[in-house]
Every structure is written in structure tokens, then in C-alpha cells.
Amino acid sequence: MSIQDKIREDAGKIFGEIVALRREIHSKPELAFEEFQTSALVKKCLSSWGIEFTEMAKTGVVAMIQGGKPGKTIALRGDMDALPILEENDVPYVSKNAGKMHACGHDVHTSSLLGTAKILNSHRQELPGAIKLIFQPSEERTPGGASVMIREGVLANPDVKNIIGQHVMPLLDTGKIGIRPGMYMASADEIYLTIHGKGGHGAHPHMTIDPVAIAAQVIVAAQTIISRRLDPRIPAVLTFGKVIANGATNVIPDKVLIEGTFRTMDEPNRELAHRLIEETIQGISKSMGGKADLSIEKGYPVLFNDEMLTARTRASIEEFMGKENVVDLDLWMAAEDFAWYTHQVPGCFYRLGTRNESKGIVHGLHTSRFNVDEDALKISTGLMAWIAVRELERDSMG
């Protein structure tokens, strides 16, 4: 029996166990850097399987599987935190922690990586190299658990040559895998702006400095940064999603609060946009007699899938799944803190299909009705194990 057949068989054998783990994690969601129960469950599983691990980044766990043959070290990553969302699913494993929910599939990522660890550990003597398994906290909260784990040395001792991550995708049917080389996910920065003016009676605007009028000009003009100042060949989005004036029908307020986000697929473009946003907002506010307090808080960087690693990963996926089940992904303007790893070592971030319309599993990420088709767990554990094995094998063969 080939090692691929063994991995496939192993994934089938542990399917029920991984579903149970996923449901346990799902029912006890924990927010960023609060994943104490989840972390304890991960460590309990690893210990029972004889897999060595260390702790870092408060609730993070890093397991190590040393192969029986010499070779490079690669990393596999799964995130553990949940979101502050009240779950509305009617399932036996619904969240028991009110106002918290695994609405982004991190319960799947954690349980899948545990399954992958168990499979790889059973074949460790056949592996030409070593595998780090990163159970990461706080993907959902800036600056992200990845940046903390990197700072604490997760990619060193031994040095990691490349890293692979898997994420659920409710836009893809179960049985499909999505992948894209090169730029894939956007950077994400938060914009906090206060425009100060001089309030007064709505009937006497000439006696005021109207921050609402300034805000209107700022919001419209800022969009021309995207359409007229940045390279149109590079995707970029500027959105203001929160505007608070707190005046009245006949009251001009003293200030307006505005919050938004800027996203792009290129780091130099990101830096240029920040400068232009600052210049535009300050210039308009001053020209209209007001003052602007602007803060742009940098979030996750651009996620870039290394071309060579992604080509190898795609080949491995096609070997395991069949070419007909591999889908080319579009650019995705959401952000992911896996991007931090890709700025340190070559990385590949691919998508696991979890949609099943016949089961009513159609809701999007970060929604109160999000769920996954658990049949995807028949695929996720074995697929990642196979990708890891093939990556080590290819390196050992030169």
C-alpha cells in the first residue's frame, strides 16, 4: 500500500474522532488570546498521541514531528480563536458561550490540524525531515497571533523553510479545494478620523465651521485617491463604514467621527495610499476652516502565496483530490494574519470547500448562521498530511 493510500485510510479511520473534536471546540468558542480550553484540548490530544509540543504566545501550542530521515523543516498552521457573534444555528453543538461563536471555521482548522498531526505521527519514520504544527491564537484580532508567535521564535529552532495554511470556504462545495499563486489576500488597515469644527444653529451656518460638510467632502474626495492617484492595476478598497455627527435637524455639531478601512494587494501601494489619505483629509479640513485628527492603524500585511511552493502544493492537491476538484481562486480583499508568515518564509494558503446546499449549509463567514459540511473533515486531515509528505519528499529528491 502506498503512503498516499495509507494516509487516505487513516483519514477515514479518524473521521469520527475529528468530527467530535470539532464539535467540542465549536461548542466552547473563545476569543483572541483567551483560547485556554481549546489550547488545553490540543495539548491533551498531542500528549495522548505521544507528540512533543511547546507553548508560546500565551495560548499558542507548537508541536513537532521529527521524521526518521534527514531533511528540511516545514510548518503547518491552524488558528483557534472565535468571534464575538451570537450564534443562531439549531445544532446539538451550538455555542455554549453566549455572544461568542466559531463563525470563521477555526474549529475546523484546529481539529483538522490535530487529525493531520495524528496521521503524520503514525508515519514519522518514513518522513524525510520534520514538521512543525502551529496551533495559533488570535487570528481575528490585530496585530494577530501570528506576529506574536513569529516574534517569540516559532519559525526558528529549527528554521522553517516554508509554511502551509488551510482555511474553510463556504463559497466552494465540499470536495473542492481552492488555490491561487501570487497575491491572494489584502492588507487591512483601520482608519479613525475626528473632524473638528465649530457647532451652532442650523439656521446660521455662516457662524459655524460645519464638520458635517467637511466630512462629506472628505468622504467623496478620498475615493478619488483610489480612482485617480493609485495604480489602477493594483486592487485597492477604501471604505468608510461609520459616521457619527450627533447633531440634530437644526444643530450643527462641533465634530464628526468617521471610521473606515483601507485594503490593497501591494505593500508599496499601501504606504503611498496612507500618505495620500493623510494629505487629502488634512488639506480639505484646513481649507474649510476645520481640523482633522487622523489615525491609520496598520493591520495585517498583504498575503502572497509563493509561486513555486504554491505550484508544488497544487500538484500535491491534484494527486490527492484529482485535477477536476481543484479550483482557481479569485483575489480576496479580506485579510488574514497568515500573511505575517508569508513575509518571513515562502507560504501557501489554500481553501477547503465546506458548502452543501442540500444540507442548508450556505451561510457566509462571520455570520450568525455560518456552519460547515462536516464531510469536509474527511478530506482536510488527509489532504494536509499528504501535502506535507510530498513537500518533504520533493526536497529530499532535490
What is the rounded CA–CA span in Å between residue 94 and residue 360?
A: 16
Catalytic residue among 79, 139, 306, 391: 139
Dihedral pair phi/psi, residue 96, rounded to 5°: -95, -5
The C-alpha cell at 387 is 501535502
What is the rounded CA–CA span in Å between residue 117 and residue 112?
A: 9
* Per-residue burial over 275-303, b = 16 or more CB atoms within 10 Å of its CB, e = otherwise: ebbeebbeebbeebebebebebeebbbbb
Position 119 scores a pLDDT of 98
Q: What is the pLDDT of residues 351-369, one digit of tens each?
A: 999 999 999 999 999 999 9
Position 25 scores a pLDDT of 98
Of the candidates 212, 96, 206, 106, the residue with the CA atom closest to the CA atom of residue 166? 106
Q: Is 139 a catalytic residue?
A: yes
Q: Bridge partners of 248?
A: 251
SS3 state of residue 142? coil
* Residue 231, CB-side half-sphere exposure with 13 Å CA sphere: 11
Burial class (CB in 10 A: 0-12, 13-18, 19+), 332: buried
What Cα–Cα distance (Å) separates residue 133 from each residue in 71, 161, 200? 16, 13, 60
**Could you tell me which CATH number the domain at 3-185+301-396 has?**
3.40.630.10
What is the rounded CA–CA span in Å between residue 169 and residue 156?
A: 30
Position 1 scores a pLDDT of 83
Position 397 scores a pLDDT of 61
The C-alpha cell at 113 is 490540524
Residue labelled with grid coordinates 499558542 = 60
Neighbours of 113 (CB within 10 A): 28
Q: What is the CA radius of gyration of the chain?
A: 24
Catalytic residue among 81, 87, 140, 374: 81
What Cα–Cα distance (Å) separates residue 151 from each residue in 60, 132, 147, 156? 13, 16, 6, 10
Name which CATH class applies to 189-298: alpha beta
Q: Is residue 197 within 8 Å of 292, Cβ to Cβ?
A: no
Domain ranges of the chain: 3-185+301-396, 189-298
Q: Is 373 a catalytic residue?
A: no
Q: Is residue 382 within 8 Å of 10, Cβ to Cβ?
A: yes
User: In 3-state terms, the chain is what percent helix, strand and coil (to 5)?
Assistant: 40, 30, 30
Angular region, 124: left φ>0, alpha ψ -120 to 50, beta rest: alpha
Q: Which amino acid is at 395?
A: D
Position 381 scores a pLDDT of 98
The C-alpha cell at 358 is 442540500
What is the rounded CA–CA span in Å between residue 140 and residue 79?
A: 9
Q: Is residue 18 within 8 Å of 95, Cβ to Cβ?
A: no
The C-alpha cell at 128 is 524525510
Of the candidates 214, 200, 195, the residue with the CA atom closest to the CA atom of residue 257? 195
Q: Is residue 356 within 8 Å of 375, Cβ to Cβ?
A: yes
What Cα–Cα distance (Å) separates residue 159 from each residue in 55, 65, 77, 308, 330? 17, 14, 15, 19, 32
Q: What is the pLDDT of residues 98-138, one digit of tens each?
A: 999 999 999 999 999 999 999 999 999 999 999 999 999 99
What string of pLDDT tens digits covers the 398 residues of the chain?
A: 899 999 999 999 999 999 999 999 999 999 999 999 999 999 999 999 999 999 999 999 999 999 999 999 999 999 999 999 999 999 999 999 999 999 999 999 999 999 999 999 999 999 999 999 999 999 999 999 999 999 999 999 999 999 999 999 999 999 999 999 999 999 999 999 999 999 999 999 999 999 999 999 999 999 999 999 999 999 999 999 999 999 999 999 999 999 999 999 999 999 999 999 999 999 999 999 999 999 999 999 999 999 999 999 999 999 999 999 999 999 999 999 999 999 999 999 999 999 999 999 999 999 999 999 999 999 999 999 999 999 999 876 65
Q: Is residue 102 within 8 Å of 82, Cβ to Cβ?
A: yes
Q: What is the pLDDT of residues 51-98, one digit of tens each?
A: 999 999 999 999 999 999 999 999 999 999 999 999 999 999 999 999
Give the whole-number percent of the chain exceeding pLDDT 70: 99
Residue labelled with grid coordinates 529552532 = 157
